[in-house]
Structure 1
Amino acid sequence: MLQQQNKYLEMTIQTATPAQLLIMLCDGAIRFCRKAIDSLNENKHQEAHNYLMRVQDIINEFVITLDKKSSVAEGLLQLYDYFIHRLMEANINKKAEPAEEVLQFLMELKNTWVEANKLAIAQKTTGDASHA
């Protein structure tokens, strides 16, 4: 069963658009951030550390894959840097509040990307129809 799930996940990743990959990464960051918050609240510090590091890894992936020529790149880089800072703060101080703040931002960011992806698909569909 696990092997089938892994094959499905691999196929999903291979066929996903860049926007879909970004949304999937954001889903992972949100999931790990929630787990980190729960772990911090339960004083499971090593577990929280592991989850916070996974969120940071995903945010670093956002930075690596960001189109630096984009008009929003500088703002996103600053936002990602802030996320990393707050996650480190949560990890060092063993407090959930900074991670909760990042979680809220990640959820808003995901919603923005979902809407942008819908708009891009709609524009592409409209553009394809006008060329037919």
Structure 2
Amino acid sequence: MSVQNAFNAYKQNSVTTASPAELTLMLYNGCIKFIHQAKKAIAVNNIEARNTAIQKSQAIISELMSTLNMDIAISQEMMKLYEYMNYQLSQANMKNSTVLLDEVEALVIEFRDAWKEIIQINRKKQYTGDSV
């Protein structure tokens, strides 16, 4: 088995065995990765790569939107932020703007970091029985 095949098998296994919380974390990290790719594409004036990376970021934001439970008040606020991020990504694509990408990236990082903290708190509760 080649190194690339082994890595692909590892990636596939990590996705199929991840909890829903871990999958959400992976989505945030993927979105950040694609925003970085879009910024690199803008730097070298590669319009096709920029467009592809931004579209992938938008697909991830759309997936995150679809997972929200709209019966929970915080989900309604998160939906507004996700819609804003999607709009800003569209604008960044049309305007070839790293400034707009930086703004969305900062928001996604905040969401990701908060999500990581929630996962850590829940794990601590699970393994120690604490009611943190």
Normalising by structure 1, we get a TM-score of 0.91
Structure 2 distance, partners of 1:39, 1:22, is 26
AA matched with 1:17: S
Report which stretch shifted further, 111-120 or 63-72.
63-72
Equivalent in the alignment of 2:90? 88
2:126 is the alignment partner of 1:124: yes
Secondary structure of 1:50's counterpart equals: helix
Structure 2 distance, partners of 1:18, 1:67, is 14
Structure 2 distance, partners of 1:70, 1:3, is 42
State the Cα distance separating 1:23 from its structure 2 match: 0.7
2:14 is the alignment partner of 1:12: yes
1:26-72 Cα offsets, whole Å, 9 max, x none, are 11100110110121122211110110000001111101112222231
CA RMSD of aligned residues (A): 1.6
Structure 1 distance, partners of 2:125, 2:80, is 29
Which runs of 5 or more residues in structure 1 are unaligned?
Answer: none
Equivalent in the alignment of 1:112? 114
Per chain length, whose mean CA-contact separation is higher, i.e. which structure has more relative contact order (CA < 8 Å, sep 6+)? 1
Identical-residue share of aligned pairs (%): 26
Structure 2 distance, partners of 1:67, 1:7, is 32
Structure 1 stretches of 4+ with a deviation exceeding 6 A read none
Which runs of 5 or more residues in structure 2 are unaligned?
Answer: none
2:20 is the alignment partner of 1:2: no
Normalising by structure 2, we get a TM-score of 0.91
1:92-126 Cα offsets, whole Å, 9 max, x none, are 11111111100111111110000011111112223
State the Cα distance separating 1:15 from its structure 2 match: 1.2
